Structure 1
Amino acid sequence: MATNLPQNVRAVLQPDPKVDTLILTETALPMPKEGDTEEHLVQIKATSPCLSELTWERYFPEAFTTDRERVPGTEGAGVVVTAPARSPFKPGDEVYFRNHADRRGCLSDYTLINKSSLALKPKSQSWVEAAATPLSSLTAYQGLFEHGLLNPRAIVTQGGDAKAREANGKVRVLITAASGSVGSWAVQLAAAAGAGAIVAMSGPSKVDDVRKAGATDIIDYTKQSVADWAAQDPSSTQCDMALDCVGGDSLAGCWTAVREGGVLLSVSDSPDRVRPASVASKKLAKATWFLVQPRGSDLAEIAKVVDAGIGKPWIDSAVEFEDFQKAFDKVETRHAKGKVVIKITT
């Protein structure tokens, strides 16, 4: 057991899930239960707010336990302080993670993270970069490779399998909000896996960045909707899969853009809820809304991608712990140009 640990730590709490109010206070140092084989005490270096996370328990109360400390922040990076016996992680390891949403979060000096959620931090990343990576990269990774049509073994860090790359080269992928946190990772990972075409929906200010990330075609959403783009020449615009990161009209437009028998995924809403009447008879192999799973094994693969220089988070800004409210407010405006990070300990 580590020595010289504080009895109390700084933590930001959401006292009532029905309102978004946050308070900075001190709470008892969280400690693993005696004999627990999963929990690691981690000193948090940085964390990043997620859009609308303060509303999750309000709208999905059945997914949360009421006896936990409501500390927000589901992703972060830090240093392992205590680890259970036979854990692959040891005290002093630098790690990054996406914590389960129903657990005590990362907006605190210390918190507890399950072994299955942990991975060693990319060596090339700063704490701010590492804290900005897990949630968005995991969402894109699982969307493209677990729920989607691309094979991750084509990525050079996973062996660069020639057959996998040949198969991926036949896949046209559409990504909405491609300049956003999840979308930018999806573009980079699809390019790393050798997707045949990457159609990216983006605003004009980010077009150059999205192209550099690997997009082969751009839909400027200020000039053209996804549906209009797809309808202009169906023989050349049809995509094999779409990963939607917006919902609403963009998700509805993806129904027009995805070919018969293709795959439509969304992290924002159920595709069936917004299916246009004009494509009521279209049959897709899969049309689903999915939730990202905290999975350290996926983050370990993403760390290799980062350290190989073929993937990185897009970061808007970083603020000090005491300015946590500014970070949440900026995320909620939807005007942040990448992740907003809160630095916790130096």
Structure 2
Amino acid sequence: MFEQSRSQYNLISVRATSLTSGELFWPEPNSLEFPIPGFDMAGVVISPASRSEFKTGDEVYALTSFSRAGAAREQQIALDAELALKPKSLSWEEAATVPLSALTASQALFVYAGLSALPQDNEKDGEKKRVLVTAASGGVGVWAVQFASRAGAFVVATCGPSNIDFVKELGAHEVLDYTNTNLSQWVQEDDSRRFDIVIDCKGGDTLAEAWTVVKPSGFLNSVAQPAETKKPATGVAEGVRTHWFIVDPDGGQLELVSNLIESGKCKAIVDSIWSLDDWREAFQRLDSGHARGKVVLKVSD
């Protein structure tokens, strides 16, 4: 297939990639015997596609299609539509943390949940839209907090006790320690605490609780698992909407994220950097559930 259509692909020398929980168990494209992880990619164009807007030597980053193998290898291919120029202010490792997580958060908030990027549109009668982000110190959570707060929403976030100050620095107005806060009970204490939008990045029991804290006709978006799989039998407000989606690679949207990074309005968060040889330890760190931001594999210098 690649031989027949290789002129449409840019060939990239990979510098770094970041990992996503569970990806070693995803169906592998093209019947590869061993999975190649890492659908985030930062690197240098070494052979542009025909009529590409990118040129040899361009420093780029991308979320590449899940239909192809990942970027934990020396070279990767990418379409123009997947690529954006790497923010100059970011290292290779920092850049590799951005695409999948930032695009997931952006599409969850602005495409499916209906949050506006314009702060004035997210306020009515002096009241800001309320957004909850669970697992807010993780890969997607850090971007959901940053995007929602910069869009003018009132952001409440959950995380572990060691990350409370960190999540506040990202822009959360209120941070709850998930180890001693039950969201359902917290809202029952004061119904005004309910949310217009909930972005759940944890799944499981947290997702079940998340259903019970959405306003009537509000929106719940889970990026961990389909929300309907954890909908409780009681306690859900009338008309709560939800939508399960797989993030779309989108170089145009990634350019907008780059602008936010370059202007200092958002930042990339690296939890840790590992060599390719230490990929097992990297996944162990990721699967521990305690990573702050993204776990990165350094592929080359």
> Does TM, scored on the shorter chain, surpass 0.5?
yes
Identity across aligned pairs (percent)? 40
TM-score, normalising length: structure 1: 0.81
SS at match of 1:289: coil
Partner amino acid, structure 1, of 2:166: D
Displacement, 1:298? 1.1
Instruction: Provide Cα deviations, 1:75-112, integer angstroms capped at 9, x if missing partner.
Output: 11000111122211111111111111220211111111
State whether residues 43 and 92 of structure 2, in contact with CA within 8 Å, keep that contact through their aligned partners in structure 1: yes
Displacement, 1:289? 2.1
- Relative to structure 1, is the Cα distance of residues 128 and 151 closer, same or farther in structure 2, using a 3 angstrom cutoff? same
Q: In angstroms, what is the RMSD of aligned CA positions?
A: 2.1
Q: Structure 2: how far apart are the matches of 1:269 and 1:144?
A: 16
Unaligned runs of 5+ in 1: 1-30, 155-161
Report which structure shows greater RCO (CA 8 Å, sep ≥6): 2
Q: Structure 2: how far apart are the matches of 1:76 and 1:46?
A: 6
Given the alignment of the two structures, is residue 53 of structure 1 paired with residue 23 of structure 2, yes or no? yes
Q: Structure 1: how far apart are the matches of 2:253 and 2:127?
A: 22
The aligned counterpart of 2:195 is 239
Q: Structure 2: how far apart are the matches of 1:281 and 1:335?
A: 32
Larger radius of gyration: 1
Q: Structure 1: how far apart are the matches of 2:151 and 2:248?
A: 21
Q: Structure 2: how far apart are the matches of 1:237 and 1:280?
A: 14
Matches within 5 A, 1:307-346: 307-346=262-301
SS at match of 1:342: strand
Q: Structure 1: how far apart are the matches of 2:284 and 2:94?
A: 20
Displacement, 1:230? 1.5
Q: Report how many aligned residue pairs link the two structures.
A: 300
The aligned counterpart of 1:102 is 67
Matches within 5 A, 1:186-201: 186-195=144-153, 197-201=154-158
TM-score, normalising length: structure 2: 0.93
SS at match of 2:198: strand
The aligned counterpart of 1:7 is none
The aligned counterpart of 1:18 is none
Instruction: Provide Cα deviations, 1:163-182, integer angstroms capped at 9, x if missing partner.
Output: 44656963110111011111
Instruction: Provide Cα deviations, 1:184-209, integer angstroms capped at 9, x if missing partner.
Output: 111011111111x1011111111111
The aligned counterpart of 1:41 is 11
The aligned counterpart of 2:182 is 225
The aligned counterpart of 1:254 is 210
- Relative to structure 1, is the Cα distance of residues 169 and 55 closer, same or farther in structure 2, using a 3 angstrom cutoff? farther
Matches within 5 A, 1:167-178: 170-178=128-136
SS at match of 1:279: coil
Q: Structure 2: how far apart are the matches of 1:191 and 1:37?
A: 41
Matches within 5 A, 1:177-216: 177-195=135-153, 197-216=154-173
Displacement, 1:69? 7.3
The aligned counterpart of 1:8 is none
Partner amino acid, structure 2, of 1:182: V
Partner amino acid, structure 1, of 2:76: T
The aligned counterpart of 1:76 is 41
Q: Structure 2: how far apart are the matches of 1:273 and 1:35?
A: 39
Q: Structure 2: how far apart are the matches of 1:163 and 1:68?
A: 51
Given the alignment of the two structures, is residue 136 of structure 1 paired with residue 93 of structure 2, yes or no? no
Q: Structure 2: how far apart are the matches of 1:116 and 1:165?
A: 30
Q: Structure 2: how far apart are the matches of 1:179 and 1:319?
A: 20
Q: Structure 1: how far apart are the matches of 2:112 and 2:106?
A: 9
